[in-house]
Copies of this chain bind each other. A is one copy, B any other.
């Protein structure tokens, strides 16, 4: 069942953006840049918004010309398969990039739609490529972000059972909330159960039942979209903790070699 076609792709006033004063500069492309280099980045970036819930930032098949960094709100990316079913590929919160999968083919490979009121920065890709040649720190950050995305999808692939997947999902959100300076154990889910289910390849009912079970077992307290993590270690035991900002050893016991 394809989702309702809310509206066409958003097209809003383009405003200059100042990375230097952005609260997300430590998680986003500017990470590691000095003031001068950050200004060069600002010069190619445009702010866009607001995008209303249900409005699309881009659609599958559109020609690719920019990456988008989420400033506020949240987006999801999804595809529609040849049988008309929707598959949620991922969720994008403040400081995260959308559209990386479009680079190689020159066309966007998924749809990106706002879950809440959102604002984003558009980064024209050809100018970003050019600038990243001049600014090594920027080039390094782009590669890091893409590499992290590859790691993260490998992570999702290793979680087999339904409870592992939901636990891993909650941990991932928690970590991303913490990165943004929010309380890590108080999550407000920006998406409905249906989208969580689609992303984790589960039925909505299963997600609902798992939330109930996790609550019974004292792992979390759930009320609608609000989730409080009560027993982090137990959750981590279920869905492996993959700390994508760590040193790559967090998942293994100390090695003896």
Contact = CB atoms under 8 A, between A and B. Distances in A.
A136 B133 contact: yes
A105 B201 contact: no
Contacts of A140: 129
A127 interface: no
A72 B143 CA distance: 26
A66 B146 CA distance: 16
A101 B201 CA distance: 23
A156 to B, nearest CB: 7
A11 to B, nearest CB: 14
B158 A103 contact: no
Contact of A149 (B145, B150, B244): B150
Interface stretch (A21-29, A175-183, A214-222, A247-255): A247-255
Nearest to A241: B82
B201 A151 contact: no
A52 interface: no
A1 interface: no
Given A129-B140, A237-B82, A255-B61, A104 B156 contact: no
Contacts of A251: 60, 79, 81-82
Copies of this chain present in the complex amount to 2
A240 interface: yes
Contacts of A142: 143
A244 B81 CA distance: 16
Contacts of A4: none
A240 B154 contact: no
A157 interface: yes
Interface stretch (A12-20, A34-42, A43-51, A106-114): A106-114
A134 to B, nearest CB: 8
A204 interface: no
A87 B252 contact: no
A154 B248 contact: no
Interface string A126-165: 0001001100100110111111111101101110100000
A150 B146 contact: yes
A146 B150 CA distance: 8
